[in-house]
Amino acid sequence: MLAKTVRILVLPNITYSKDLEKDSYVQVLRNMILGLRREPIFWHILSPEKIKRLDKLHTAQHSFPVPSKPQVMRQHLDTFQLEALFKEEIHDVDLIMSHLPEQTHQLKAWVWNKTHHEPKVFGYSHWFDLQGTATGGVKSFNQNILGVLEMEKCYINTSKQKELVLDQAKRTFVKGVIRQLKDILTVQNLGIFTSQIKDPHPDPDKVIVFNHRPDPSKDYPHFLKITDALYRERQDFKVWVPMSKRKQERDYITTERYAKEDYYEKLRNCCVGFSPKQTYAGWSVAVATTDGLMNALPYIMYNADYYKEINPTADFFSNDDEALALLNKYLDDPDHRMEMIRKGQQHLRENVWEKEMVKMNDDIEMIVRSLHQTHSPKTEQLVKVIKEEGSISKKDLWKRTGFGGSVKWSRYRRALLEHPNIFDTLDAVSSYNWSETAEN
């Protein structure tokens, strides 16, 4: 397929090296690729091992070992591994998508200084070392920020998270930098595809779900205080904590773990989810709630702006008494439960992932349009050779035209793809193709 292909190099953020198929980074990246598939994008993905979920999506995966400990991985960029990817300048790179702000400057500097490419960077931040959430070890918040400043856009999950990042950045960086950060940090609420929204279970079990990590940053000890009080009132329910690795803490708690599709079906068969007070307001806020809502599981939520961004139609609580009253209502009032599922899923449909990807697609187009182009006699020579050959690899094109040395190829590539008769392909290795018609 001939196309005006945009080639993107992806820098990964691996936090669950035991099973990459389940890593949150992989889930986010896969949804982005699927949401942008209508665009001519080819993804070059650095990865410690092949990820099946990313295969056959106009992707090429390149071996890129990383340390298994996330705190070390975020500081580690093995430039020797990059040499193989750029050997003989076969691969073209128009943009870099960095999932690791801490490494953005190093990667951008290496590509610009060691190759013929001058890609701009956009990215996604899975984590900031915010005070109160990052515990133990050396904190990397300043490196987070310096990496974001190298980007054109950096997507984060909620407005509250953006607010927290800017507030902490003000303690170190000047006002001009804060203004830059405001422009670069872009809220992208994690949604789901319309096809993922399931119908309610006709007869769900009386199970309360806590599908967050069961630790203090997710207010889990306080959640147990609430459910203990509920259990003293009634014993006709269970609490399911699927992310728990602990032994059974209470007679009423279950901790079964399931593969993804079985996990979704289990959520659908539960009564109500619990969204606790959080200190980070990022990825986990969105994913736990959307996992439930798309599977017809309604949530009661702590009264906070970051939850209202995700589902403003939910029932909110501000104290333990309100939380207890709501849990009792959902366990006893199926009509109210069904009405809240209807409202929550309607909100999902109005904010599905397809719409978020339209915004990202516009951002990518804006960044691509801003890339430098070189129009010169050399450009005309390149055009002439492509027209004569009909189709030619970059390597052969360079040999025919004497291209090389310290001249930057990116500027010529963009100029060539602006030509109405020149197209790339959606294969791993780019080629330059002449077509007399724009329909391909």
pLDDT, the chain, mean: 89
Please state the rounded mean pLDDT for residues 282-302: 83
Kindly state the percentage of the chain with pLDDT values over 90: 59
For each of the domains in the chain, give its residue range(s) and CATH number, in order of start: 2-191+354-369 (3.40.50.2000), 194-351 (3.40.50.2000), 377-434 (1.10.10.10)
pLDDT digits (tens, 9 = 90+) for 248-258: 679 999 999 88
Q: How far apart, in Å, are the Cα atoms of 136 and each of 128, 133, 214?
A: 14, 10, 18
pLDDT at 324 over 60: yes
Return the pLDDT at 440: 45
Residues 246, 224: Cα–Cα separation, whole Å: 14
Kindly state the percentage of the chain with pLDDT values over 70: 95
pLDDT digits (tens, 9 = 90+) for 193-208: 888 899 999 899 999 9
Interior angle at CA 232, CA 231 and CA 233, nearest 5: 85
Return the pLDDT at 439: 47
Going by pLDDT thresholds of 50, 70 and 90, the confidence category of residue 136 is low
pLDDT digits (tens, 9 = 90+) for 340-356: 999 999 988 887 777 77
Return the pLDDT at 134: 65
Who's near 163: CB < 8 A, 6+ residues apart?
A: none
Going by pLDDT thresholds of 50, 70 and 90, the confidence category of residue 68 is confident
Return the pLDDT at 382: 97
62-76, 209-223, 350-364 — most confident range:
209-223
**Predicted model pTM:** 0.83
At 27, is the secondary structure helix, strand, or coil? helix
Cβ–Cβ < 8 Å for 114, 408: no
Return the pLDDT at 308: 87
pLDDT digits (tens, 9 = 90+) for 73-113: 888 898 888 887 777 555 899 999 999 999 999 999 999 99
DSSP per residue over 163-228, as a string?
HHHHHHHTTTS-HHHHHHHHHHEEE------GGGPPPPPSS--SEEE--S--SGGGTHHHHHHHHH
pLDDT at 21 over 70: yes
